[in-house]
Structure formats: structure tokens, C-alpha cells
Structure 1
């Protein structure tokens, strides 16, 4: 299971989750996307809104298999390969202080599922109870950032949070690395921040970086996977997500 996280909003965490889901679908991997963000943007983008009787909030209340099954819906991208554990604004109830025994509710719920090749957990852009539960359920954590001052400092805090969880309730959790998103090639400020990120995280900076392209927003607005969107920019993005997915799959196979 791969957790996608950021401790700062607006860096494209959900877009990266969707890109990885698109890559997995194209590769023929049966994939479940867990939408832990109370905004439920991932659920909307994947075309699963209103398609299940319950949602992730109910699963966090009761991680029994029958509740999990009732909260999963097929994605309109590919109903056979891609499914969504539905996000909900109601999940914000679980985003406050989380008692130790409840940190494993999502992990318990997901442990009953063996029919998926990949589980992606889209965490909220904060270190509350939802993100802690999401990362506790995962074997790898992917930190999303962009080359800006506040995003760089948030990435550092995210790694501190991952380390804290590793030394506590999630000893199996390992950082996969940092995805640098929304990169503009001719921005001197971004170039400086990229160098700063490389100095801070070294080999944890994943390659390739994800460039800022209008095709990403266009595909999402049309309810389409980036691999299904026409044009050279979409192809460039799709190839980047293919490479990131391959890195993640290799890392998770080593656990």
C-alpha cells in the first residue's frame, strides 16, 4: 500500500494520486484508491460520487469487511480495474486527536482486501488523525511537493512525521521519496528551490519531476485519465507517472 501525502495544500497531491491510478490502470493492475481527504476530490475525479452505500468515514467507525465492501465503488475510468473507497466530508470527524487503538482502523479494514494489485491512499494535506491512520496502513509513503519555499519546508515536516510514525505505531512504514510536482523549466525561483530540495533529500528526490502542464487540469475537468488524454503534453505526463509507479511497485515488492 502506498500513501500519498503532503503537509501543505495546493501542491497537486491529488493530481499525483490520479496520475498513479491512471498509470496502474493502463498497466492492467487492479487498483483501489482510498480517498481520505474530506474534500473528496479524488472520488469526484474518478467518477465514483454517490455510487456506494457508505464511505470511508463509516469504515473508520467500523473496519469490518461488510462495511468496507459497502463503501467501495467502481471508477468510471475503468470499472473492472479501478475502484474507490469513497471519500466524504464526514471523515473530518476522524481528523482530530486519534487514540492509539484507533490508528489501526484503516489498516484493519484494508488487511481484509487481497484482490488488488495496488492500493493508493490519498491523505489530507495535514498531519491530523486521517493522515496518521492512512500512513499507518501503508508500507511506503510518497511525499508530494512543488519547488516553492513553503512547500519545501512542508516536505521536511512530512518526513519528520513519517519518521515519528515509524518509531511508533507504523514500524513497517518507509519513505518512498519526494515527487516534485508542477515544475516550470524557466523559473529561476523554482530552479533554486529544486536545488534546495536536492540538498535536503538527496537520492529521495524521485525522477522524473512532474512538469506543470495544462493537460492535467483538462483531463481532470473532463473526468478522464491522463493516459487517455490526447496530445504530447499528456503523453509526457503519462510517461512520468509510469516511471514513478514502476519505482513504487519495485519498492513495495521488497517489503
Structure 2
């Protein structure tokens, strides 16, 4: 999950997709690559006693990589699914310089290769910038889901993100592709939101995904309680859960097409 603009709900989408994967029984690894480390909190992980992504970036040896993996507290609510976390850290900002070396860009890919056979799905919550952390995350990815909100500034940030993905694809990782643009925090009654959604569709066509995600307080409530939205009561939360199920289907279809190549 990526956005070159903060505050669009990138971490919220990561947690929603993790909830969908968890409810489906998939073995899922979430990588907290945002120095704010909010996804670690949302997955009910206490980072004390674990290594972190900062340690992994310092040296992606197997012992360090495994020491940075924590089981999500979500497992207390449901059996069958596996949600693990590569623990985030504010210290990862030290690895977010503007000019990463080729060696640095491939460190997360090297780390994930150690764990590849153990998970069905890996979700990376990226930093909201285009410095080393995001480039490193993209180099380790097959697809990038760009999260946007229906605003003027987010439209411009989405355009920058797609251009940057193409730059990384051409120069670093030929397998990288945009999965699509997910419009978050929509208000159907807002003329401005509807205008911006039409603008995004005109600019980016079929890359704009359905469904768009409406603003729902229940989603923030579930994540504030560090619980999966699929297990939060109420019609609004179940509506959001169904939306994330649909988006997860798109993710899995795209991953299947990627593995067939």
C-alpha cells in the first residue's frame, strides 16, 4: 500500500486487507515500513523484545529477520488464519534517505526471500514519501496499490506515484506493476468528492478500482480497538468488511497472474 501524500488512510487499507486475509484463513505477513509504525499498533503487537524493520535493513540475515517477526494479537479472536508482522520502528526513518544505493534497495527483497514459502500473502505498509523506504518496498513487491482520497492534492499525488512506479519498473524491478488506485474516505453526498472521483477516472481509467471506500466511523473504531474489522459488530463494519473482501479478491487475482508469468 502506497501513497505519496500522508493522511489518505493507507494504513487503514493495509489493516482492512489484513482483516480480509485473516478471515479467509490465509497465511499473511504484514510489513510495517512506515516509521510511524501505526500498523504494528493496529495488529495488537507490543514491539518490546522484538527486532524491527530497522534491524532488518541494517543487515537482512535470517536470524535478524526472524527476530523481527511477531504474531498479531488478532489470533486471540479467531483460529485458522495466520497474521504475522515484521515489526515497525521509528528508527527506520534513518534508512529513508533520498539516494539509496542499489544494495540498500534490495534489502527487503532479500529478507522476504527467507520467508517466502511460509506465507500466502505479504502486505507492505509503505512510508508516505518517495525516498529509500518506499523504493525498497516497491523493489520487493509484485504490485503496488495506490491509496488516494477524493481531493485535489491526492489527485496530483496519485499521478506522481504512478510515474514513480513506472520509473522503478524500468530501472530496478521489471515485475513491478500498479495494482490499481483505491479511493478511500469518500462521502457520496459531497459534490467535491464526486467531482474528484470523476477526475481520477478520466485521468487513470480502469486503474481506478471499485468499490470506493466510504468514510465509516466503525472502521476507525475497530482499528482503534486493535481488532479486525471483519469481527467488529454492526452493519457499517460488515459493509466495510465486504468491500475489503472484494479488494482482496483483486489482489489475489493479480498475484496469481504474476506467478503464472
Interval of TM-score (by shorter of Structure 1 and Structure 2): over 0.9
User: 1:9-65 CA distances to partner (integer Å, 9 max, x unpaired)?
Assistant: 000000000000000000000100000000000001101122542100000111111
The one of 101, 104, 108 equivalent to 1:102 is 104
Residue in 1 aligned with 2:113? 111
The DSSP-based 3-state class of the residue aligned with 1:154 is helix
Tell me the distance in 2 between the aligned counterparts of 1:37 and 1:94.
Answer: 11
Q: How does 1:3-152 map to 2 (within 5 A)?
A: 4-78=1-75, 81-96=82-97, 97-113=99-115, 114-152=117-155
Tell me the distance in 1 between the aligned counterparts of 2:47 and 2:156.
Answer: 37
Q: Displaced runs of 4+ in structure 1, greater than 3 A?
A: none
Gaps spanning 5+ residues in structure 1: where? none
Tell me the distance in 2 between the aligned counterparts of 1:51 and 1:120.
Answer: 22
Pick the structure with more helix per residue.
2
The DSSP-based 3-state class of the residue aligned with 1:254 is helix
Give the TM-score of the pair, scaled to structure 2.
0.95
Tell me the distance in 1 between the aligned counterparts of 2:48 and 2:171.
Answer: 36
Query: By how many angstroms is 1:170 displaced?
Result: 1.2
Tell me the distance in 2 between the aligned counterparts of 1:150 and 1:49.
Answer: 35
Note if contact 1:52-1:71 (Cα within 8 Å) is conserved in structure 2.
no
The DSSP-based 3-state class of the residue aligned with 2:118 is coil
Give the TM-score of the pair, scaled to structure 1.
0.97
Note if contact 2:179-2:251 (Cα within 8 Å) is conserved in structure 1.
yes
Tell me the distance in 2 between the aligned counterparts of 1:76 and 1:234.
Answer: 20
Tell me the distance in 2 between the aligned counterparts of 1:15 and 1:120.
Answer: 12
Residue in 2 aligned with 1:238? 241
The DSSP-based 3-state class of the residue aligned with 1:50 is coil
- In the alignment of these two chains, the number of paired residues is 252
Gaps spanning 5+ residues in structure 2: where? none
Note if contact 2:50-2:87 (Cα within 8 Å) is conserved in structure 1.
no
Q: How large is the RMSD of aligned CA atoms in angstroms? A: 0.9
Note if contact 2:33-2:124 (Cα within 8 Å) is conserved in structure 1.
yes
